[in-house]
Amino acid sequence: MSDTQLSVRPITADEHRGFIASRPAASFLQRPEWAAVKREWRPEYLGFFSGDALVGSAQVLHRPLPVLRRTLAYVPEGPVLDWAAYTTAQVTEPLLAHLARGGAFLVRMGVPGVQAKWRAAEVRKALSGKKKDDAAPTPEFVTGLEPLAGDGHAALVAAQLRAAGWTKPEVSEDFAAGQPEFQARIPLRDTGGEQLDVDGVLAGMNQNARRETRKAASGPLEVQVGAVGDVERFHALYRETAERDGFTPRPASYFTTMWTELNARIPGTCTVYFAVHEGRDLAAAIRVQSGEGAWYVYGASSSAERKLFAPKALIHRMIEDSLAAGCAYLDHGGVSPTLSRDHHLAGLTLFKTTLGCDVVQTLGEWDYRLNKPLAKAFELYMNARDRH
């Protein structure tokens, strides 16, 4: 590791954009276009310098407290730099000092990096409960299984953050606020880093999901790629899904803004797909692609014609498009790490692993209280809001 002290100072959005363009692993959450989607947050762009050399960059989103001139400072999937080249203190201390001077009372940082990963088939097996009489008991969490891969440096970063006073929720069965620590990702490369073909990707699914996906892709459905004028089509299915599944839908304007802003500089970053049968939309999905990552961010479906497996036709197309773009994975969002079949989120994990999603444990999101009384009051408010 370098013993050079890093300094942090503001840079322009274009300087940040140029830096992360050379870092294919950077999340789309670090793109200035994403800040334009999250209009209730104020973006700030910070450069990490070794002398005069720009070695890192971060998009910080500020959420102001009502009345008080203090902000929650959120660094989603950042800072973007070579974490292995520096100690954690070299990165975080100048960042905290800068944000404290700017009036932040709490810093939330979603540190990039993967701690461990478990193959879809192994997680499916553990969740199924099928084991030999002499087999060891199923562990409580996926972290009790033997990982496919682990990252010793990620574990070191986590230990250094904790020692420096950063906090994060312990592994639990339920989702915490923010980006989930455990993600479901369909791998698009083999363990040697070589790009798979579609059949190689589908091989990670269980037998039924693979059969249904192939049937959907070769059947009577037509997969269409929409434009910004088709957002209302997506929203119609999305509202139907929200009513059926009991969640509060976002307004159509949010998706219009997402499509417009994310595609403004790099067309094709945000794509809306439809699975259509005889002129009727049966399923819709929104995919975001940036660097070597692809994310299935929203999905919606009709209750009609379920045997055509319309959502799986869209997954097949998203896999094809993500492979064509050279992506390393297609992310399907968060999962619970629980292996208890009785837990209300176990079915979601089982469903995503049947689609071939490995379970990936990221470094997660960490908090640092710059103003402890305000941070405590904010946490109590958020906990009370979540309970209601």
Q: Which residues contact 39 (CB under 8 A, 6 or more apart)?
A: 257
Residue whose C-alpha is closest to residue 166's, from 364, 381, 360, 7: 364
DSSP state letter for 113: -
For tokens 């049968």, what's the residue? Answer: 277
Model pLDDT, residue 130:
64
State how far the Cα of 364 lies from the Cα of 55, in Å rounded to an integer. Answer: 22
What are the CB-based long-range contacts (under 8 Å, 24+) for 1-6?
A: 1/84, 1/85, 1/86, 1/87, 2/50, 2/85, 2/86, 2/90, 4/50, 4/51, 4/90, 5/90, 5/94, 6/48, 6/49, 6/50, 6/55, 6/56, 6/86, 6/90, 6/91, 6/94
Model pLDDT, residue 379:
75
The alpha-carbon radius of gyration of the chain (Å, integer) is 22
State how far the Cα of 205 lies from the Cα of 184, in Å rounded to an integer. Answer: 13
Model pLDDT, residue 340:
84
- The count of residues in the chain is 388
**Fold of the domain built from segment(s) 115-150+169-362:** Aminopeptidase (3.40.630)
State how far the Cα of 182 lies from the Cα of 142, in Å rounded to an integer. Answer: 10
- Phi and psi dihedrals of 195, rounded to 5? -65, 135
Model pLDDT, residue 173:
46
End-to-end Cα spacing for the chain: 47
338 contacts 350 by C-beta, under 8 angstroms: no
298 contacts 258 by C-beta, under 8 angstroms: no
pLDDT tens digits in sequence order for the chain, 388 residues long: 666 789 999 999 999 999 999 999 999 999 999 999 999 999 999 999 999 999 999 999 999 887 678 899 999 999 999 999 999 999 999 999 999 999 999 999 999 989 999 999 999 999 987 655 556 677 888 988 989 877 778 889 999 999 999 998 765 444 445 688 999 999 999 988 999 999 999 999 999 999 999 999 998 999 999 999 999 999 999 999 999 999 999 999 999 999 999 999 999 999 999 999 999 999 999 999 999 999 999 999 998 888 999 999 999 999 999 999 999 999 999 999 888 888 888 888 999 999 999 999 999 999 999 988 888 877 776 665 545 4
Strands (E), 305-372: 329-334, 358-362, 365-369
- Phi and psi dihedrals of 326, rounded to 5? 80, 25
Pairing assessment for the beta strands 104-110 and 80-81 based on DSSP bridges: unpaired
Model pLDDT, residue 383:
62
For the domain 7-112+365-387, what is the CATH superfamily, name and number? Gcn5-related N-acetyltransferase (GNAT) (3.40.630.30)
> Which helix (H) or strand (E) covers residue 152, if one does?
helix 152-163
| 129: exposed, middle or buried (Cβ count in 10 Å: 0-12, 13-18, 19+) | exposed
Domain with CATH 3.40.630.30 in the chain: 7-112+365-387, 115-150+169-362
Distance from the Cα of residue 231 to its chain's centroid? 22
- Would the CA dihedral through 214, 218, 221, 222 be positive or negative? positive
- Inter-CA distances, 276 with 29, 146, 215, 228, 371, Å: 30, 42, 15, 18, 53
67 contacts 45 by C-beta, under 8 angstroms: no
State how far the Cα of 283 lies from the Cα of 275, in Å rounded to an integer. Answer: 5
Residue-wise pLDDT tens digits, 4-14: 789 999 999 99
Model pLDDT, residue 382:
63
